[in-house]
Chain A
Amino acid sequence: MASGNGAHGALALATPAQVNRDLLERHQRRTGDTYWRAMALFGALFVLGIIGFLMRLSDGFSDKAVWGYYAAVFAFILTTAQAAPLVAIAPRIAKGHWRRPISRAAELWSVVGLFNLLLFIPLLWVLPSLEDTRRTLWFFDAQDPNFSQVPIFSPHIWATLALVGLVVTGFMLLWVSALPDLAAVRDSASGWRQRWAARLAPNWQGTSQQWNFLYHRTGILGAFYFIMLIFVHFLISVDFAMALVPGWIDALFPITHAANSLQAGTATLLLTMFCLRQFGGYKDYIGLDQFWALGKLMFALSLLWFWFWFSSFIVLWYGKKPSEQAALQLMMVGPYLPAFMAAFVLNFLVPLFTMIWNPLRKSIWGPTLIATSILIGTLFDRIRIYVPAYSVPGIGNRFVEKHELSEVPKSILPDMADIFMIVGAIGGAIFIYLLASKVLPVINVWEQKEMLLYRVHKPFHRIEVLVLGKRD
């Protein structure tokens, strides 16, 4: 599986110097029309999103129900874009060579984290404080002297800190793993690129000490990014969704939320790869091997989607406990059944019945199409969780008695502002990614060069074989 760009690196990029020259030249070449057209399109969507947001803002923050779709799209970006870097991190830690051409493309998505941090800010006003005595991560209880000291804005504080931590880690990872490339740009480019690169990588000489530092730090930062991502998913999924629904106690949900993000992150990267290959002109670097490997990963993660969902579902459903029935009613089989069915079909059934077929996995179009299906499914999945969760009024009215939902609120359909915000947030994320792709080479130059060192073709009896080295 892991034979780099293998047979599909049509161009004979046999030596590190050639790779170096080719990639840096591509990076500094004047940008083409496709790029500007894409920028214009996604920029326009972004503007639309801002308009939608302003429309929504006129409703104020007092009624959190109208902000459901906004929360859903925030969670969607968290689930997709912010998880994409992991697809570079995991195989790097496992020393999979196929990751090399796509690791930069994956890490660049961490730039979008900054955008998502901005999206997060209004939610701080939308989320009620802990005074409504809901169950939370923070055990606030006004009556209990032990727990009345808990700050009533704990969810807001900690989620913000965690999200900032995640974004900072993402940027650090991107920067550290790009140091050699920045140095190469510094030494070869001119103009603003050269100035920026010189500022970001002033001291990189490529000494073995520096390389050791690089390997070590990318490993640690990668692991840390993973831990932060899990942590952020934990806080967001519990404080910003689960705690809002009384009686919904699902210990697996934070982990499901994070596992879904691995699947959606892989799908995001697959689409990115496809665009880079098809429109970015990197056909020689991104080949079938990457699609095949990621396709297999995505297939496995789609099965995992079902397993996590079912593990929660069977336990909540089997017991017929009213509080749990109400939660299922709210988010699965009740008013949001169409959204749930869409998520179920697109996230699980479609990948299962198509990707099980190897010719489809081992193609360019197959994994790309399924990735699209998964991304749409994930959006529906986030909608069917966040919109109903935000539509539950606080404790102390006819919907909620103690910690149980006694009546399921009606479904909320997106209005114009919601649709604007959804397309705007997605458009904005892509817009920012496109911008970022101009600052750094989209293909990791040093990893690409390094791979050439590990691959040797040798004669073996009567045939020639590929020998692949793996560092310990």
Chain B
Amino acid sequence: MQEHIQLTPKEINQELLSGVLGTPKWWLGLVAFLLLVFLTGAGAFGYMLNKGVGVTGLNRPIMWGFFMTNFVFWIGISHAGIMISAILRLTQAEWRRPVTRAAEVLTVFSLTAALMAAPLVHVGRPWRAALWVFPYDFGRGVWPNIRSPFIWDPAAVMTYLTASTLFVFVALIPDMAVIRDRATGKWARQIYGYLCMGWRGTPRQWKLQTVAGILLSALVLPVFVSVHSIVSWDFAINIGVDGWHSTIFAPYFIIGAIHSGVSAVTMVMALMVWLWKWDKILRPDHFDAIGRLLIIVATTWFFFFIVEFFFAIYTKEAPELALRELQIFTRPYVFLFLIFIITAYFLPVPLWMFKKVRRNVKWMFWTTVSVNVGMWLERFLIFVPSLARKTPLEFNWGTYHPSIIEMLMVAATFAWVAMGMLLFSKVFPLIPIFDIKEGMIVRDEVKIGRAIVPASIRE
């Protein structure tokens, strides 16, 4: 059973720097296409800026729609990076090695996408939105209202963005040194030399880099938990919206975020195998491990979903019951609900139970795409129907149809993240070179009778 392919350090360099030192054929075309989609979205935003929020499908009482859904979706995706990197690094799971970099970069780009998705664009006067993040107008003693979750929100997201950028950077230093030594252009050499901050690979430097990685992992975990908790409190603290007012929201959102985030990482892994042909490094057992993790995460998420749902009808209050009726039995939400529940849980999880599926790149890609479709709809189904059945004043109950402008802007965030990852892959390796090399070194085997068990060297 040759599960892993042992490569020499030189081969690893060649393999993983293929995207940085050369340009794959498809790269430019894909980036151009994504840029086009992104610019279309940006144009849609410009139109909205010019005309007003009226160009969306928002109305009273559905004051938050696609933008907020998309915001929470991207915040959710951003939880993958830390989940994979920090937790698995702290627990010394070997299979994390080829996955960490892509996951962390996905975190950074999805966080920027989240920042683009809602706070900046969905408000009525975006040109003044900056004023809500920074204290302004000191002279008259006007400060932001720290009681508002919308002040906690940017604080948490910005902290998370800073922390995860640092996280990416610390892990990049040894790799940037590798590129510095191999870059041919004068400029490239200088820039990488500047970025890797004099990395020579001395034992002291390695020690500092490892300690920094572990420290950042431990410190970023509370941030990771706080971010999505706070995002969930944007909704849960509302007493005006019965469907949102649930104590379970913080853990429910976090586990949902991990569900969609880890799925997104799996998608990226599959794409790395297909686009850059890194199948010598990303082995079926990596997909197997992440598949098993996904089964546990998905099932926990599903449990939270059931509990959340259950305690909504536990109250037996009219708006809650009306909301659930709208969510599950009323067209068009019934279709969305069915798609959501099937794609987010009942299709992928039974499939992941089969080892064959877990070890197959294609299956894993499409099942995780399905999860993300479902999880996007999940957010939508939490936010919009709850607003549509806000309180017992049924005279005001409403419905919502997104406009084309909103759809274009949502598409733009997807294009932005994909484009960001591709641009990143052009300047930095998407798989940590040093980590793979270390993994190759510490990998070993233990013989027990006739069986050979994979093993690793521990200090």
Contact = CB atoms under 8 A, between A and B. Distances in A.
A binds B: yes
Interface string B428-451: 000000000000000011101000
Contacts of B237: 314-315, 318-319
Contact of B247 (A251, A468, A472): A251
B453 A252 contact: no
Contacts, number: 115
A235 to B, nearest CB: 12
Contacts of A303: 222
Interface in A236-261: 249-255
A354 interface: no
B51 interface: no
B314 A249 contact: yes
Given A252-B248, A315-B237, A467-B446, A456 B316 contact: no
Nearest to A450: B448
A135 B314 contact: yes
Nearest to B3: A472
Contacts of A453: 446, 448
A311 to B, nearest CB: 4
Given A249-B311, A467-B457, A468-B458, A315 B245 contact: yes
Nearest to B315: A249
Given A315-B249, A318-B237, A472-B285, A3 B458 contact: yes
B290 to A, nearest CB: 14
B245 A250 contact: no
B131 interface: no
Interface string B226-252: 000100010011110000011111110
A266 B38 CA distance: 50
Contacts of A465: 457-459
A213 interface: no
B302 to A, nearest CB: 12
Contacts of B459: 465-466
A312 interface: yes
A311 B229 contact: yes
A316 interface: yes
A36 interface: no
B325 to A, nearest CB: 14
Given A252-B247, A252-B248, A319-B239, A2 B458 contact: yes
A398 interface: no
Nearest to B230: A314
A275 interface: no
B247 A315 contact: yes
Given A135-B316, A311-B229, A465-B458, A251 B311 contact: yes
Contacts of A416: none
Contact of B233 (A234, A315, A403): A315
B123 interface: no
Nearest to A468: B458
Contacts of B446: 453-456, 467-469
Interface string A432-472: 00000000000000000000011110101000011111111
**Interface-central residue, B91, B92, B311, B454, by most chain A CB under 10 Å:** B311
Contacts of A94: 91
**Interface-central residue, B238, B313, B316, B445, by most chain A CB under 10 Å:** B316
A249 B225 CA distance: 23
A468 B313 CA distance: 50
Contact of A467 (B248, B308, B316, B458): B458
Given A454-B446, A454-B448, A469-B448, A312 B453 contact: no
B456 interface: yes
Contacts of B7: none
Interface residues of A, number: 44
A224 to B, nearest CB: 13
B455 interface: yes
Contact of A470 (B248, B315, B454, B457): B454
Interface in B236-280: 236-239, 245-251
A37 interface: no
A248 B249 CA distance: 16
Given A139-B316, A251-B311, A469 B453 contact: yes
Contact of A468 (B238, B304, B456): B456
B240 to A, nearest CB: 9
B239 A321 contact: yes
Contacts of B455: 454, 456, 467-470
B307 interface: yes
A399 interface: no
A467 B457 CA distance: 4
B55 to A, nearest CB: 33
Given A135-B314, A469-B448, A315 B458 contact: no
A17 interface: no
B246 A251 contact: yes
A96 to B, nearest CB: 9
A252 B303 CA distance: 12
A470 B453 contact: yes
A255 B245 contact: no
A12 interface: no
A162 to B, nearest CB: 15
Nearest to B445: A469
B251 A311 contact: yes
A61 interface: no
Given A252-B247, A303-B222, A472 B454 contact: yes
Given A255-B251, A469-B446, 17 more contacts: A2-B458, A94-B91, A135-B314, A139-B313, A139-B314, A251-B248, A251-B311, A251-B314, A252-B248, A303-B222, A307-B225, A308-B251, A315-B237, A316-B247, A453-B448, A456-B446, A472-B454
8 contacts: A234-B307, A251-B246, A315-B233, A315-B246, A318-B237, A321-B239, A468-B458, A471-B453
Interface of B: 91-92, 222, 225, 229, 233, 236-239, 245-251, 285, 303-304, 307-308, 310-316, 444-446, 448, 453-459
The 5 closest A-B pairs by CB, nearest first: A469-B446, A251-B311, A319-B239, A469-B455, A251-B248
